[in-house]
Chains A and B, each alone.
Chain A
Amino acid sequence: MALSKAELVEHIYKMVEAASGKRQLKASDLWKAVLKEHSELDKKDVQTAIKELIDGGRCVYTYFGGSYVELPRVEAAAKKG
């Protein structure tokens, strides 16, 4: 089943949402997972879709030793106490 551009964006968003709080996904985890199911796509398509999620503020890049794509949240270090 071919994914449209918009569907790919939503597909990736759902992956990030499902992993939230359990596992931090890297951009490479996302493209590897997508390309496994959708061989018609290439890495660039996934990167462009991630860029759309990031530029729109629906996802953010985080850095905790490595860089991840996550849902926006208040970070632990910014909390008092």
Chain B
Amino acid sequence: MSKTPLLDQLESGPWPSFVTDLKRMAAKKPQVKDLLAQLERSYQEKITHWKHGGIVGVLGYGSGIIGRYSDLAETFPGVEHFHTMRINQPSGWFYTTKALRGLCDIWDKHGSGLLNMHGATGDIIFLGTRTENLEPCFAELTANGWDLGGSGSTFRSPSCCLGPARCEWACYDTMEACYVLTQEMQFDMHRPSYPYKYKLKFSGCPNDCVAAVARADLSIIGVWKDDIRIDQAAVKAYAGGELKPRGGATPYAKLDIKADVTDLCPTHCMSYDGKKLAIDNRNCNHCMHCINLMPQALRPGTETGATLLLGSHAPILEGAQLSWVIQPFIVMESPYDEFKELNVRITEWWAEHGKNRERIGELILRLGMREFLEAAELPPAPQQVRIPRANPFFFWQQSDFDAEAKGRKYYTREGFDVE
């Protein structure tokens, strides 16, 4: 009789079964056999059997390893220790089979052979090894050009969409920016010195394929400032049904350009007279809807860069937040000095004022957006708010009066006068 009658029920059905996959490893690895047995027990009892380990790691680092222990170690000795290793992924999650097999060899030798490609933050996740295997595994990883990613109160492994590697909408080189910033921040990634975690995600356009706006403290989302590029002949081909909407990936055979595109434009900045598509680009809000629907006819402009948004995180503790626009436009080009310097001003301010386990978005809620913007040396801009305040409780600082006296706008300090 099977030892895992409940898990066995997850072997049927068309979607790939993790149980089937794990069972085949269990034939080779006793720890996977015990893992399945413990998991079966959780399925019976409807509770977890893991304990959190907060101390194990590799020498010198305070991140990249998550300690995990079974509370049924006597019954299932194979999973007494079952630590996670986070391995920093390459930009865009591209691999050669040679590189992947190399990783598999290392993990078969030093761990359970189970993994995630990839974890929520972006790292390769190796699941399940013993404390004494951590150092040898780490040594072999680094010898082969891999390093651990972030965990704990650190600069977490940044991630990015594949950008210019395969996408016509990339408004900056997400792959390079992600790599450069990851290398730049190695000390802070491996040696926790922040109040809590800090994530960077690079998306090449407002479709935001890596969910930067929801999942990164600092979200870098590509955008253009000039005109959407139009191929009028292709627009006609969409109208005539020769080209399929969204590259063909919809149930709809033919685009009705008025009903499907221009009427749904959130700013109503476009029109179609049956011959020509006209866009009032100064009133476009870069939502991407028209471009998504007609990828052969429309493309983002060529004056490109990114918008910086700050503060998103999952619900712990003050409730989930989406990132707020803090800088409407920044040119993102190698060596990314302007961006790097701003990133340092942000993290320094947060490290100085943040309480334990307080994300940057929560700190801004506590101390106020003005205080943050001034510390980050970012001027006020209407793009930062969806709508101005409705209450009259705004305050004036001496710097405002000084600015006023010098004939500047009420905008605070020198250097902040825009235009």
Contact = CB atoms under 8 A, between A and B. Distances in A.
A79 to B, nearest CB: 9
Contacts of B81: 78
Contacts of B191: 27, 47, 50-51, 54, 61
Question: Which among A27, A63, A65, A76 has the greatest number of chain B C-beta atoms within 10 A?
Answer: A63
Contacts of A55: 59-60
Nearest to A77: B51
Contact of A66 (B55, B56, B66, B152): B152
Question: Which among A31, A50, A54, A78 has the greatest number of chain B C-beta atoms within 10 A?
Answer: A78
A67 B351 CA distance: 13
Nearest to B68: A77
A11 to B, nearest CB: 17
Nearest to B192: A67
Interface in A33-68: 47, 50-51, 54-55, 57, 60-67
B57 interface: yes
A60 to B, nearest CB: 6
Given A27-B191, A50-B191, A62 B54 contact: yes
A32 to B, nearest CB: 8
Interface string B37-65: 00000000000000111111101111100
A22 interface: no
A20 interface: no
Interface string B267-299: 000000000000000000000000000000000
Contacts of A66: 152-153, 195-196, 356-357
B193 A28 contact: yes
B34 to A, nearest CB: 16
A76 B51 CA distance: 9
Contact of A47 (B54, B154, B193, B195): B193
B54 A54 contact: no
Nearest to A30: B193
B67 interface: yes
Contact of B62 (A28, A57, A67, A73): A67
B73 interface: yes
B53 A78 contact: yes
Interface in B140-157: 151-154
Contacts of B152: 61, 63, 66-67
Interface string B185-202: 001000111111000000
Contacts of B54: 62-64, 75, 77
Contact of A75 (B55, B61, B151, B195): B55
B74 interface: yes
Contact of A27 (B59, B60, B74, B192): B192
A57 B195 CA distance: 23
B197 to A, nearest CB: 9
Interface string B171-191: 000000000000000010001
Nearest to A67: B192
Contacts of A72: 55
Contacts of B51: 76-77
Contact of A78 (B60, B63, B69, B194): B69
B184 to A, nearest CB: 16
B57 A61 contact: yes
A54 B57 CA distance: 11
Interface in B63-109: 63, 66-67, 69, 73-74, 81
Contacts of B195: 26, 28, 66
A77 B196 CA distance: 22
Contacts of A77: 51-54, 67, 69
Interface of B: 51-57, 59-63, 66-67, 69, 73-74, 81, 151-154, 187, 191-196, 351, 356-357
Interface of A: 26-28, 31, 47, 50-51, 54-55, 57, 60-67, 70, 72-73, 75-78, 80
Closest 7 CB pairs of A and B: A61-B62, A67-B192, A67-B153, A77-B51, A67-B152, A27-B193, A63-B152
Given A28-B193, A63-B63, A80-B73, 4 more contacts: A63-B152, A65-B357, A66-B357, A77-B51
6 contacts: A27-B191, A47-B187, A62-B62, A63-B62, A64-B52, A67-B62
